[in-house]
Amino acid sequence: MNFIEGTRVVAEGELQSHSITRHHVTKFYREQITNSGFYDQLKYVVEPSIKEFESPGTMDTSGEHDNTVVPGLQHKYAQTGLLLVTDRCVSYCRFCFRKRFVGQDSDEIALDFAQIAQYIGGHPEMTNVLLSGGDPFVLSTAKLDKILDHLLPIPHLDSIRFGTKAVAYEPRRFLDPALSALFQRIHEACKTAVIVAHFDHIGEISVDAERALRSLRAQGVQLLNQSVLLANVNDDPETLAETFAKCHQIGLRPYYLFQARPVKGASHFQVSLRRGLEIAHGINQRLSGIQKTFKYIMSHRTGKIEILDLGADGRLYMRYHQSKTTEKIGKIFSRPYREGACWLDDLLEG
């Protein structure tokens, strides 16, 4: 098998026992990153590394199993339902926090949408659903329409959100004329269609992606972007400031910058929280007020934690942006910082 570090002979069983994600990259993305001038950074997004055999961590860093209420439906935060609609992606990111199932046949995927709709129908506090996976846009538009048949009649759902990296990996997917009808159905059901794209680096934003996003905007789809802070890919403020400025220019609002998670086989992508804060502050220093719409977030088992600053007292200050425990939301808390810490669990209480 070809790794970034060179060729190595590996047995199928060895790949499985280390949960090495399938290697698949679209021709489109390969050409885009080759021609972008950033191949040396972006190759880490999709090309396997030998480090994947050694990186420590766990497979479910956000407690997704614990929040699953019906197979394929997670209900962690009161207002949001998270649906795993597929275990497949357009290309596979080496840093994926769902590497426990992407690219494989998984029983974590939603099959019974009637049962899911029944659960959502009984939870009026849930105002939005996020279709995720895997990447929902690997599914045919007809299959997505079938899922919507179950979701659109639910009156308390205000928005239908799609989390996707397909705008980077295969942007022409969004020029499918049947998708316009799908978004129109969402609007006619008095709900907002939201696409949360996933660009980690300005070199991923192709001309075709811009064209697809312009077309989606014209169809009234709200557009947000999330990124992951990745060692050797985008761990400098210039790159991310340029990426976010470009997103802003094309109508894609920077939303979350995620701290990479301590995923087994992918924790070599983590940068320290100290470096992450230097980068987040550096990005903000380079952007205008309307461009700096992102939050630097650690998506922890206990909730979405905004990483605020490292104080002169040596403590890391954070705030719960989302939590299962409603009273925690908005509360600032701190822990003594330990050099090299990359995750909340690396910091002791005290």
Q: Which of 135, 200, 235, 242: binder of ligand SF4 (CB under 6 A)?
A: 135
Does 48 bind ligand SF4 (CB under 6 A)? Our answer is: no
Residues from 265 through 284 that contact ligand SF4 (CB under 6 A) = none
The verdict on 42 binding ligand SF4 (CB under 6 A) reads no
CA distances to 32, 104, 194, 196, 316 from 221, in Å: 25, 31, 6, 10, 37
* Local structure of 191: helix, strand or coil: coil
Binding mask 187-216 vs ligand SF4 (x if CB under 6 A, - otherwise)? ------------------------------
Of 326, 346, 350, whose CA–CA distance to 336 is shortest? 350
Sole binder of ligand SF4 in the list 42, 93, 151, 224 (CB under 6 A)? 93
98 interacts with ligand SF4 by CB under 6 A: yes
Please choose, out of 11-19, 127-135, 176-184, 258-266, the segment that lies near ligand SF4 by the rule CB under 6 A.
Answer: 127-135
For ligand SF4, the closer of residues 70 and 102 by Cβ is 102
Q: Which is nearer to ligand SF4, 33 or 102 (CB)?
A: 102
| Geometric angle at alpha carbon 270, from 329 and 41, rounded to 5° | 125
Q: Does 96 contact ligand SF4 by CB under 6 A?
A: yes
Pick the stretch among 59-67, 113-121, 132-140, 326-334 that binds ligand SF4 (CB under 6 A): 132-140
Can you tell me the distance from the alpha carbon of 61 to that of 68, in angstroms, rounded to the nearest whole number?
Answer: 14
304: β partners = 299, 322
Q: How far is the CB of 228 from ligand SF4 (least distance, A)?
A: 8
Indicate the residue among 128 and 132 with the shorter CB distance to ligand SF4: 132
Q: Out of 48, 72, 134, 136, name the contact with ligand SF4 by CB under 6 A.
A: 134
Q: Verify binding: residue 102, ligand SF4, rule CB under 6 A.
A: yes
Phi first, then psi, for residue 22 (nearest 5°) are -50, 145
Helical H segments across 105-252, by residue range: 113-121, 141-151, 166-169, 177-188, 207-218, 237-249
Single residue of 29, 38, 44, 92 touching ligand SF4 by CB under 6 A: 92
Burial 200-221 (b: 16+ CB within 10 A, else e): bbbbbbbebbbebbeebeebeb
- Which tokens sit at 269? 């992508």
To ligand SF4, the closest distance from the beta carbon of 89 in angstroms equals: 3
Q: Is 298 in the site for ligand SF4 (CB under 6 A)?
A: no
Shortest Cβ distance from residue 83 to ligand SF4 (Å)? 13
Q: Work out the number of other CB atoms within 10 angstroms of the CB of residue 27.
A: 9
State how far the Cα of 336 lies from the Cα of 350, in Å rounded to an integer. 7
Q: Least CB distance from residue 92 to ligand SF4, whole Å?
A: 5
Contacts of 94 (CB under 8 A, 6+ apart): 21, 44, 45, 46, 47, 48, 49, 52, 266, 269
Q: Does 260 bind ligand SF4 (CB under 6 A)?
A: no
- Count residues near ligand SF4 (CB under 6 A): 10
Q: Which stretch, 88-96, 114-122, 212-220, 262-270, contacts ligand SF4 (CB under 6 A)?
A: 88-96
Q: How far apart are CA 75 and CA 83, in angstroms?
A: 9
Strand, helix or coil for residue 245: helix
By beta-carbon proximity to ligand SF4, the closer residue of 38 and 337 is 38
Angle between helices 141-151 and 177-188 in degrees, nearest 10: 10
Applying CB under 6 A, among 165, 201, 246, 292 the residue interacting with ligand SF4 is 165
Residues that bind ligand SF4 (CB under 6 A): 89, 92-93, 96, 98, 102, 133-135, 165
